[in-house]
A = this chain, B = another copy of it.
């Protein structure tokens, strides 16, 4: 079976840059390619868009098929259409960026036994195609967006100590932050709820837990409040 058209068409794919956070640094999910081109090399998860699914649905499907991740924060990033970005033929890709809380989601290699793994964002291997460029665009977006939208919380478990939140901002923005100023600023925005709970099973002194109050944030935003860190 083949599909014929009056004019030639580029193929259309989605690719997803998935960020996560661990105790050390910002992580990115990569897939080891088992087919040419770039067989054996690491690449972003992704694949072809089907005719009967939206772009977002294609990104969610590919992400789940290739990494097992589902139900996570996903946002369209940019569409890459350089003429020679794929050696096989003209392929245009709609790139997404995704954020996941590692404590809540287990990553598994895909069913077709392709290798999936987390890499430190600051120390990636050479990537297939133009995936380094896509990764750079995703990191830029994450860095500018965490400052004026509360998307960083997607990288944390629902309940977190302020230390983890500061670690998130330090790792994403790649600079140290003053503890007192950071706490003062985030608490003054009044979008966190201080919980009656402290950390469990930690070797250091257990710290107070907080959660992000999405409803309050939405309410304040409608009245002109701007999140800014």
Contact = CB atoms under 8 A, between A and B. Distances in A.
Interface in A1-54: 1-12, 48-49, 51-54
Contacts of A81: 49, 54-56, 94
A5 B9 contact: yes
A164 interface: no
A49 B11 CA distance: 12
A107 to B, nearest CB: 26
Q: Give the dominant DSSP class at A's interface.
A: loop
A82 B54 contact: yes
A229 interface: no
Interface residues on A, range: 20 to 34
B82 A79 contact: no
A84 to B, nearest CB: 10
A4 B3 contact: yes
A150 to B, nearest CB: 16
Number of copies of this protein chain within its complex: 2
A225 interface: no
A7 B12 contact: no
A49 B92 contact: yes
A5 B10 CA distance: 10
Contacts of A6: 1-3
Contact of A92 (B2, B8, B48, B55): B55
Contact of A79 (B2, B8, B55): B55
Interface in A77-104: 78-79, 81-83, 90, 92, 94
A56 B92 CA distance: 12
A4 B3 CA distance: 5
Interface of A: 1-12, 48-49, 51-56, 76, 78-79, 81-83, 90, 92, 94
Q: Shortest 4 CB-CB distances between A and B: which pairs?
A: A55-B81, A2-B4, A3-B8, A9-B9
24 contacts: A3-B4, A3-B5, A3-B6, A3-B8, A4-B5, A5-B9, A5-B11, A7-B48, A8-B51, A9-B10, A9-B11, A10-B51, A12-B92, A51-B83, A51-B90, A53-B83, A54-B81, A54-B82, A54-B83, A76-B78, A79-B79, A79-B94, A81-B94, A92-B94
